[in-house]
Amino acid sequence: MSTTLKPSKTPAAAGVGVPTVWLDGKWYDRETASVSVYDHGLLYGDGVFEGIRVYGGKIFKLSEHLDRLYDSAKAIWLTIPMPKDGLAAVTEEAVRRSGIAEAYIRHIITRGIGDLGLDPRKCAKPSIIIIVDTIRLFPEEVYETGLRVVTAGTPIPHREALSPRVKSLNYLAHILAKIEGIHSGADEVLMLDSDGHVAEGSGQNIFVVKNGAVRTPPAYAGILKGVTRDVVIELGREAGYDVQETMLNRYDVYTADEAFFTGTASELIAIRQVDGRTIGNGTSGPVTRDLRSRFQALARS
Ligand code: PMP
Protein backbone atom coordinates (compact mmCIF):
# COMPACT_ATOMS: atom_id res chain seq x y z
CA MET A 1 0.00 0.00 0.00
CA SER A 2 1.56 3.25 -1.03
CA THR A 3 1.06 6.63 0.51
CA THR A 4 0.36 9.76 -1.46
CA LEU A 5 2.86 12.52 -0.92
CA LYS A 6 1.34 15.79 0.15
CA PRO A 7 3.04 19.04 -0.87
CA SER A 8 5.23 20.20 1.97
CA LYS A 9 4.88 23.72 3.26
CA THR A 10 8.18 25.51 2.95
CA PRO A 11 8.43 28.91 4.51
CA ALA A 12 12.04 29.98 4.85
CA ALA A 13 13.59 27.19 6.86
CA ALA A 14 13.18 27.85 10.57
CA GLY A 15 15.48 30.55 11.80
CA VAL A 16 17.53 30.94 8.63
CA GLY A 17 16.84 34.13 6.80
CA VAL A 18 13.67 35.62 5.39
CA PRO A 19 12.20 35.41 1.89
CA THR A 20 13.41 38.41 -0.07
CA VAL A 21 11.95 39.94 -3.22
CA TRP A 22 13.52 42.33 -5.72
CA LEU A 23 11.02 43.87 -8.11
CA ASP A 24 12.09 46.36 -10.78
CA GLY A 25 14.84 47.88 -8.70
CA LYS A 26 13.25 47.88 -5.24
CA TRP A 27 13.43 45.47 -2.31
CA TYR A 28 10.33 43.97 -0.72
CA ASP A 29 9.38 41.11 1.54
CA ARG A 30 6.96 38.30 0.77
CA GLU A 31 3.94 40.26 2.04
CA THR A 32 4.60 43.60 0.36
CA ALA A 33 5.77 42.53 -3.12
CA SER A 34 2.95 42.76 -5.67
CA VAL A 35 2.34 43.23 -9.39
CA SER A 36 -0.36 44.99 -11.39
CA VAL A 37 -3.51 43.14 -12.45
CA TYR A 38 -2.80 44.59 -15.93
CA ASP A 39 0.54 42.81 -16.14
CA HIS A 40 0.44 40.49 -19.15
CA GLY A 41 2.34 37.92 -17.12
CA LEU A 42 -0.84 37.56 -15.08
CA LEU A 43 -3.37 38.25 -17.84
CA TYR A 44 -1.86 35.90 -20.43
CA GLY A 45 1.03 33.99 -18.90
CA ASP A 46 3.19 36.21 -21.12
CA GLY A 47 6.62 35.93 -19.62
CA VAL A 48 9.43 33.56 -18.68
CA PHE A 49 11.02 32.30 -15.49
CA GLU A 50 13.88 30.38 -13.92
CA GLY A 51 14.43 28.39 -10.74
CA ILE A 52 17.92 28.17 -9.26
CA ARG A 53 19.32 26.57 -6.10
CA VAL A 54 21.72 27.98 -3.55
CA TYR A 55 23.80 25.44 -1.63
CA GLY A 56 25.77 26.62 1.39
CA GLY A 57 25.31 30.24 0.28
CA LYS A 58 26.68 29.57 -3.23
CA ILE A 59 24.45 29.89 -6.28
CA PHE A 60 24.52 26.68 -8.34
CA LYS A 61 24.96 27.10 -12.12
CA LEU A 62 23.86 30.74 -12.18
CA SER A 63 25.21 31.50 -15.62
CA GLU A 64 23.62 28.39 -17.19
CA HIS A 65 20.24 29.39 -15.74
CA LEU A 66 20.59 33.00 -16.84
CA ASP A 67 21.59 31.87 -20.34
CA ARG A 68 18.39 29.83 -20.50
CA LEU A 69 16.34 32.74 -19.11
CA TYR A 70 17.63 35.15 -21.76
CA ASP A 71 17.12 32.54 -24.51
CA SER A 72 13.55 31.85 -23.30
CA ALA A 73 12.89 35.61 -23.38
CA LYS A 74 14.39 35.96 -26.86
CA ALA A 75 12.25 33.10 -28.14
CA ILE A 76 9.09 34.98 -27.11
CA TRP A 77 10.34 38.35 -28.47
CA LEU A 78 10.88 39.82 -25.04
CA THR A 79 13.93 41.90 -24.22
CA ILE A 80 14.94 41.69 -20.59
CA PRO A 81 15.61 45.31 -19.66
CA MET A 82 18.88 44.58 -17.90
CA PRO A 83 22.16 43.03 -19.05
CA LYS A 84 22.91 39.49 -17.90
CA ASP A 85 25.81 40.50 -15.65
CA GLY A 86 23.62 43.15 -13.99
CA LEU A 87 20.94 40.56 -13.27
CA ALA A 88 23.59 38.19 -11.94
CA ALA A 89 24.85 40.88 -9.55
CA VAL A 90 21.35 41.68 -8.21
CA THR A 91 20.71 37.96 -7.81
CA GLU A 92 23.85 37.59 -5.68
CA GLU A 93 22.76 40.60 -3.64
CA ALA A 94 19.25 39.14 -3.14
CA VAL A 95 20.73 35.91 -1.82
CA ARG A 96 23.02 37.83 0.56
CA ARG A 97 20.12 39.94 1.85
CA SER A 98 17.89 36.90 2.41
CA GLY A 99 20.48 35.27 4.65
CA ILE A 100 19.14 31.89 3.47
CA ALA A 101 22.06 29.53 2.89
CA GLU A 102 19.99 26.70 1.36
CA ALA A 103 17.81 28.78 -0.90
CA TYR A 104 15.73 28.57 -4.03
CA ILE A 105 15.78 31.58 -6.35
CA ARG A 106 12.92 32.32 -8.72
CA HIS A 107 13.44 34.78 -11.56
CA ILE A 108 10.30 35.99 -13.29
CA ILE A 109 10.26 38.27 -16.31
CA THR A 110 6.78 39.42 -17.26
CA ARG A 111 5.81 41.26 -20.43
CA GLY A 112 4.83 44.15 -18.14
CA ILE A 113 1.78 46.33 -17.77
CA GLY A 114 -0.42 46.67 -20.86
CA ASP A 115 -4.09 46.93 -21.68
CA LEU A 116 -6.66 44.15 -21.86
CA GLY A 117 -5.69 43.23 -25.43
CA LEU A 118 -2.98 40.70 -26.30
CA ASP A 119 -0.66 43.10 -28.12
CA PRO A 120 2.73 42.94 -26.37
CA ARG A 121 3.69 46.29 -27.95
CA LYS A 122 1.25 47.95 -25.52
CA CYS A 123 3.39 46.81 -22.60
CA ALA A 124 5.88 49.59 -22.08
CA LYS A 125 8.48 47.69 -20.08
CA PRO A 126 8.94 44.09 -18.94
CA SER A 127 9.06 43.59 -15.17
CA ILE A 128 11.91 41.73 -13.50
CA ILE A 129 11.22 39.88 -10.28
CA ILE A 130 13.65 37.92 -8.14
CA ILE A 131 12.37 35.90 -5.19
CA VAL A 132 14.71 34.19 -2.74
CA ASP A 133 13.00 31.60 -0.55
CA THR A 134 13.30 27.87 0.13
CA ILE A 135 11.82 24.83 -1.60
CA ARG A 136 11.23 21.16 -0.86
CA LEU A 137 9.11 19.13 -3.24
CA PHE A 138 9.48 15.67 -1.69
CA PRO A 139 10.27 14.40 1.80
CA GLU A 140 13.86 13.23 2.30
CA GLU A 141 12.99 9.51 2.64
CA VAL A 142 11.51 9.42 -0.87
CA TYR A 143 14.97 10.02 -2.31
CA GLU A 144 15.77 6.48 -1.10
CA THR A 145 12.42 4.77 -1.60
CA GLY A 146 11.59 6.39 -4.94
CA LEU A 147 8.50 7.97 -6.48
CA ARG A 148 5.37 6.27 -7.71
CA VAL A 149 4.65 7.69 -11.15
CA VAL A 150 1.76 7.46 -13.61
CA THR A 151 1.71 8.51 -17.25
CA ALA A 152 -0.46 11.57 -17.75
CA GLY A 153 -2.93 11.77 -20.61
CA THR A 154 -1.99 15.43 -21.14
CA PRO A 155 1.02 15.65 -23.50
CA ILE A 156 3.67 18.36 -23.32
CA PRO A 157 2.86 21.22 -25.73
CA HIS A 158 3.95 20.55 -29.29
CA ARG A 159 7.39 22.07 -29.85
CA GLU A 160 6.05 24.26 -32.66
CA ALA A 161 3.12 25.44 -30.51
CA LEU A 162 4.74 26.69 -27.32
CA SER A 163 8.20 25.19 -27.35
CA PRO A 164 8.96 23.39 -24.09
CA ARG A 165 12.47 24.79 -24.51
CA VAL A 166 10.94 28.10 -23.42
CA LYS A 167 10.52 28.17 -19.66
CA SER A 168 7.39 30.26 -19.95
CA LEU A 169 4.85 31.48 -17.43
CA ASN A 170 2.31 29.21 -19.08
CA TYR A 171 2.67 25.89 -17.26
CA LEU A 172 -0.91 24.75 -17.60
CA ALA A 173 -0.16 21.57 -19.57
CA HIS A 174 2.25 20.47 -16.86
CA ILE A 175 -0.17 21.50 -14.12
CA LEU A 176 -2.98 19.53 -15.78
CA ALA A 177 -0.69 16.52 -15.89
CA LYS A 178 0.19 17.04 -12.23
CA ILE A 179 -3.53 17.15 -11.39
CA GLU A 180 -3.99 13.80 -13.14
CA GLY A 181 -1.21 12.42 -10.95
CA ILE A 182 -2.84 13.80 -7.82
CA HIS A 183 -6.17 12.16 -8.71
CA SER A 184 -4.51 8.81 -9.32
CA GLY A 185 -2.73 8.95 -5.97
CA ALA A 186 0.70 9.06 -7.62
CA ASP A 187 3.67 11.09 -6.44
CA GLU A 188 4.58 12.41 -9.87
CA VAL A 189 3.67 12.08 -13.54
CA LEU A 190 5.40 11.04 -16.71
CA MET A 191 4.48 13.27 -19.64
CA LEU A 192 4.72 12.15 -23.27
CA ASP A 193 5.02 14.32 -26.34
CA SER A 194 2.17 14.46 -28.85
CA ASP A 195 3.70 11.49 -30.75
CA GLY A 196 3.78 9.39 -27.61
CA HIS A 197 7.51 9.58 -26.91
CA VAL A 198 8.64 9.88 -23.32
CA ALA A 199 9.24 13.57 -22.59
CA GLU A 200 9.60 14.61 -18.94
CA GLY A 201 7.95 14.89 -15.54
CA SER A 202 5.76 17.83 -14.54
CA GLY A 203 8.89 19.74 -13.52
CA GLN A 204 11.73 17.26 -14.08
CA ASN A 205 13.68 15.50 -16.80
CA ILE A 206 13.73 11.71 -16.87
CA PHE A 207 16.58 9.21 -17.10
CA VAL A 208 16.49 5.42 -17.37
CA VAL A 209 19.28 2.93 -16.74
CA LYS A 210 19.37 -0.38 -18.64
CA ASN A 211 22.26 -2.84 -18.67
CA GLY A 212 24.60 -0.10 -17.43
CA ALA A 213 23.61 2.48 -20.11
CA VAL A 214 22.09 5.72 -18.85
CA ARG A 215 19.56 7.18 -21.29
CA THR A 216 17.56 10.41 -21.42
CA PRO A 217 15.51 12.04 -24.20
CA PRO A 218 17.40 14.53 -26.40
CA ALA A 219 16.58 18.24 -26.19
CA TYR A 220 15.08 18.12 -29.71
CA ALA A 221 12.42 15.74 -28.36
CA GLY A 222 10.73 18.97 -27.35
CA ILE A 223 11.56 18.86 -23.65
CA LEU A 224 12.88 21.56 -21.36
CA LYS A 225 16.67 21.24 -21.51
CA GLY A 226 17.22 20.95 -17.79
CA VAL A 227 20.30 22.41 -16.19
CA THR A 228 20.33 19.49 -13.74
CA ARG A 229 19.95 17.08 -16.67
CA ASP A 230 23.00 18.57 -18.36
CA VAL A 231 25.00 18.38 -15.12
CA VAL A 232 24.01 14.74 -14.62
CA ILE A 233 24.92 13.84 -18.23
CA GLU A 234 28.35 15.38 -17.69
CA LEU A 235 28.85 13.80 -14.27
CA GLY A 236 27.76 10.42 -15.64
CA ARG A 237 30.20 10.59 -18.55
CA GLU A 238 33.03 11.68 -16.24
CA ALA A 239 32.24 8.70 -14.02
CA GLY A 240 32.56 6.37 -17.03
CA TYR A 241 28.89 5.61 -17.64
CA ASP A 242 27.63 5.18 -21.18
CA VAL A 243 25.24 8.16 -21.23
CA GLN A 244 23.03 8.47 -24.32
CA GLU A 245 20.57 11.17 -25.36
CA THR A 246 18.00 9.15 -27.24
CA MET A 247 14.26 8.96 -27.82
CA LEU A 248 12.50 6.71 -25.32
CA ASN A 249 9.17 4.91 -25.32
CA ARG A 250 7.21 3.93 -22.26
CA TYR A 251 8.43 0.38 -22.90
CA ASP A 252 11.98 1.60 -22.16
CA VAL A 253 10.82 3.05 -18.87
CA TYR A 254 8.76 0.01 -17.84
CA THR A 255 11.65 -2.36 -18.50
CA ALA A 256 14.44 -0.18 -17.09
CA ASP A 257 16.71 -1.43 -14.31
CA GLU A 258 16.51 2.04 -12.77
CA ALA A 259 14.79 5.33 -13.51
CA PHE A 260 15.10 8.75 -11.97
CA PHE A 261 14.02 12.35 -12.40
CA THR A 262 16.29 15.40 -12.35
CA GLY A 263 15.37 19.00 -11.65
CA THR A 264 16.51 22.07 -9.80
CA ALA A 265 13.88 21.69 -7.10
CA SER A 266 13.84 17.89 -6.82
CA GLU A 267 17.56 17.37 -7.62
CA LEU A 268 18.01 13.70 -8.54
CA ILE A 269 15.22 11.45 -7.28
CA ALA A 270 14.54 7.76 -7.87
CA ILE A 271 11.40 6.40 -9.52
CA ARG A 272 10.21 3.11 -8.08
CA GLN A 273 7.08 2.44 -10.07
CA VAL A 274 5.57 3.62 -13.35
CA ASP A 275 1.95 2.76 -14.28
CA GLY A 276 2.02 -0.17 -11.86
CA ARG A 277 5.30 -1.61 -13.23
CA THR A 278 7.97 -1.88 -10.58
CA ILE A 279 11.24 -0.37 -11.78
CA GLY A 280 14.24 -2.57 -10.99
CA ASN A 281 13.98 -3.77 -7.43
CA GLY A 282 11.47 -1.04 -6.53
CA THR A 283 13.84 1.30 -4.74
CA SER A 284 16.72 3.65 -5.55
CA GLY A 285 19.23 1.61 -7.60
CA PRO A 286 23.05 1.71 -7.50
CA VAL A 287 23.55 4.00 -10.52
CA THR A 288 20.88 6.42 -9.25
CA ARG A 289 22.50 6.49 -5.81
CA ASP A 290 25.96 6.97 -7.27
CA LEU A 291 24.88 9.83 -9.56
CA ARG A 292 22.93 11.42 -6.74
CA SER A 293 25.94 11.44 -4.46
CA ARG A 294 28.14 12.82 -7.25
CA PHE A 295 25.54 15.53 -7.85
CA GLN A 296 25.42 16.44 -4.17
CA ALA A 297 29.20 16.55 -3.96
CA LEU A 298 29.35 18.93 -6.94
CA ALA A 299 26.55 21.15 -5.65
CA ARG A 300 28.34 21.54 -2.34
CA SER A 301 31.88 21.81 -3.72
N1 PMP B 1 11.20 19.99 -17.21
C2 PMP B 1 10.33 20.91 -16.77
C3 PMP B 1 9.00 21.01 -17.42
C4 PMP B 1 10.69 21.76 -15.70
O5 PMP B 1 9.82 22.69 -15.27
C6 PMP B 1 11.95 21.61 -15.10
C7 PMP B 1 12.33 22.50 -13.94
N8 PMP B 1 12.91 23.68 -14.36
C9 PMP B 1 12.83 20.65 -15.60
C10 PMP B 1 12.42 19.84 -16.66
C11 PMP B 1 14.20 20.47 -15.02
O12 PMP B 1 15.02 21.56 -15.38
P13 PMP B 1 16.17 22.08 -14.41
O14 PMP B 1 17.05 20.93 -14.12
O15 PMP B 1 16.85 23.14 -15.19
O16 PMP B 1 15.50 22.59 -13.19
Q: Are residues 47 and 21 in the same domain?
A: yes
The ligand 1 site (C-beta within 6 Å) comprises 51, 174, 200, 203-205, 224, 226-229, 262-264
pLDDT of residue 12: 53
Higher pLDDT, 80 or 140: 80
Q: Are residues 121 and 165 in the same domain?
A: no
Question: Residue 209 is part of a domain; what is its CATH number?
Answer: 3.20.10.10
Q: Is it the case that residue 103 has pLDDT exceeding 50?
A: yes
Q: Is it the case that residue 182 has pLDDT exceeding 50?
A: yes
Task: Specify whether the CB–CB gap between 138 and 266 falls below 8 A.
Answer: yes
User: From ligand 1's centre to the CA of 242, what distance in Å?
Assistant: 23
This prediction has a pTM of 0.94
User: From ligand 1's centre to the CA of 201, what distance in Å?
Assistant: 8
Q: Are residues 157 and 47 in the same domain?
A: no
> Which pLDDT band holds residue 221 (cuts at 50, 70, 90)?
confident
User: From ligand 1's centre to the CA of 24, what distance in Å?
Assistant: 25
Encode 174-204 in three state secondary structure.
Answer: HHHHHHHHHHCCCCEEEEECCCCCEEECCCC
> End of a domain among 104, 133, 162?
133
Q: Are residues 224 and 277 in the same domain?
A: yes
Residue span of the structural domain in which 105 resides = 12-133
Among residues 125, 167, 210, 225, which one is catalytic? 167
Q: Are residues 278 and 149 in the same domain?
A: yes
Q: Is it the case that residue 5 has pLDDT exceeding 90?
A: no
> End of a domain among 133, 152, 171?
133
pLDDT of residue 1: 36
Q: Is it the case that residue 91 has pLDDT exceeding 80?
A: yes
pLDDT, average across residues 219-223: 89
Q: Are residues 67 and 189 in the same domain?
A: no
Q: Is it the case that residue 86 has pLDDT exceeding 80?
A: yes
The shares of helix, strand and coil residues in the chain, as percent rounded to the nearest 5, are: 30, 25, 45
d(Cα 157, Cα 166) in Å, to the nearest integer?
A: 11
pLDDT, average across residues 168-197: 97
pLDDT, average across residues 137-165: 93
Q: Are residues 199 and 242 in the same domain?
A: yes
Domain total of the chain? 2
Query: What value, to the nearest 5°, has the Cα angle with vertex 227 and ends 224 and 229?
Result: 80
In the residue annotation, 167 being an active-site residue is answered as: yes
Q: Is it the case that residue 246 has pLDDT exceeding 60?
A: yes
For ligand 1, atom 3, name the residue with the nearest CA: 203
> Which pLDDT band holds residue 17 (cuts at 50, 70, 90)?
confident
Q: Are residues 87 and 49 in the same domain?
A: yes
> End of a domain among 88, 104, 133?
133
Q: Among candidates 143, 113, 139, 145, which has minimal Cα distance to 126?
A: 113
pLDDT, average across residues 163-191: 97
Q: Are residues 229 and 122 in the same domain?
A: no
pLDDT of residue 16: 65
pLDDT, average across residues 277-290: 96
Q: Among candidates 4, 3, 40, 202, which has minimal Cα distance to 126?
A: 40
Q: Is it the case that residue 15 has pLDDT exceeding 70?
A: no
Give 13's contacts (C-beta < 8 A, 6+ positions apart).
100, 102, 134
Q: Is residue 48 one of the residues assigned to a domain?
A: yes
Looking at the DSSP bridge assignments, the partners of residue 283 are none
